[in-house]
């Protein structure tokens, strides 16, 4: 990890949506991120508290990225025991920990993507969390990007063409993510440290 970490310009932190860059998003990853020696630290099923634990227990050791891409919270929103403010507070704690541990890196905080085939309470909770966490961006070290609307059709539905189970992305879904993030990521990678 330490050798990979020294070379990695970009690290991705998140849950299955991030981890699946290694499967459904593999070709898109090769196109956009392999040349940047990107490192994927996403783990399926991760909740915000799991990410916090990993950050405290060696997940960042040896890493010196220019940019940290963070998308986390969708699994917390699913759980009925976690409220919108709790999810937002946990994301804020992760951003703070990343800033404390890797102060020279820029954090590209991504909105939690919409899920489910049709609009409903889960999507409403995701929108509320996103409204809160977007305020973490200071446009100096933490930057906000929301491209979730790109997955939603005009009638409010999500297609299996972009989210195979209305949560996990297809290769086309990963292409949407990469294209939506490319300009911002390119700018952040050129910023002086």
* Residue 18 CB-density burial (10 A; 0-12 exposed, 13-18 middle, 19+ buried): buried
**Active-site residue, from 37, 146, 159, 168:** 168
CA atoms within 13 A on the CB side of 120: 10
Look at residue 2 in the predicted model and tell me its pLDDT. Answer: 47
Look at residue 81 in the predicted model and tell me its pLDDT. Answer: 67
CATH code, domain carrying 17: 3.40.50.1110
Q: Are the C-beta atoms of 180 and 146 separated by less than 8 Å?
A: no
Rg of the chain taking only CA atoms, in angstroms: 16
Residues of the chain with pLDDT under 70: 1-5, 79-81
Q: What angle do CA 186, 67, 20 make, to 5 degrees?
A: 90
User: Could you give the CA distance from residue 57 to residue 182 in angstroms, rounded to a whole number?
Assistant: 30
**Active-site residue, from 16, 37, 50, 89:** 16
Continuous segment of H or E residues that includes residue 144: strand 142-145
**Active-site residue, from 138, 165, 183, 186:** 165
Question: Taking Cα atoms as reference points, which of 75, 67, 82 lies closest to residue 19?
Answer: 75
Domain that holds residue 118: 2-190
The mean of the pLDDT values for the chain is 94
Active site residue 168: yes
Please give the tally of structural domains in the chain: 1
Look at residue 108 in the predicted model and tell me its pLDDT. Answer: 98
Look at residue 5 in the predicted model and tell me its pLDDT. Answer: 59
Whole-model pTM: value is 0.95
Which strands form 67-71's sheet, in the order they lie side by side? 39-40, 10-14, 67-71, 106-110, 142-145
Active site residue 16: yes
Sign of CA dihedral 165, 166, 170, 174: negative
């Amino acid at each position: 990890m330490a050798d990979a970490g020294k070379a990695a310009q970009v690290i991705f932190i998140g849950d299955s949506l991030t981890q699946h860059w290694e499967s459904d998003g593999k070709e898109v990853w090769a196109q956009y991120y392999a040349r940047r020696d990107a490192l994927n630290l996403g783990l399926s099923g991760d909740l915000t508290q799991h990410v916090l634990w990993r950050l405290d227990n060696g997940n960042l050791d040896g890493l010196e990225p220019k940019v940290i891409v963070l998308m986390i919270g969708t699994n917390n929103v699913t759980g009925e025991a976690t409220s919108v403010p709790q999810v937002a507070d946990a994301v804020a704690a992760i951003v703070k920990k990343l800033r404390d541990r890797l102060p020279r890196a820029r954090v590209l905080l991504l909105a939690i993507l919409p899920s489910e085939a049709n609009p409903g309470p889960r999507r409403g909770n995701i929108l509320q969390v996103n409204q809160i966490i977007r305020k973490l961006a200071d446009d100096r070290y933490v930057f906000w990007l929301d491209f979730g609307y790109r997955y939603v059709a005009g009638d409010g539905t999500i297609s299996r063409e972009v989210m195979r189970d209305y949560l996990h992305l297809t290769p086309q879904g990963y292409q949407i993510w990469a294209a939506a993030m490319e300009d911002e990521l390119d700018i952040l990678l050129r910023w002086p440290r």
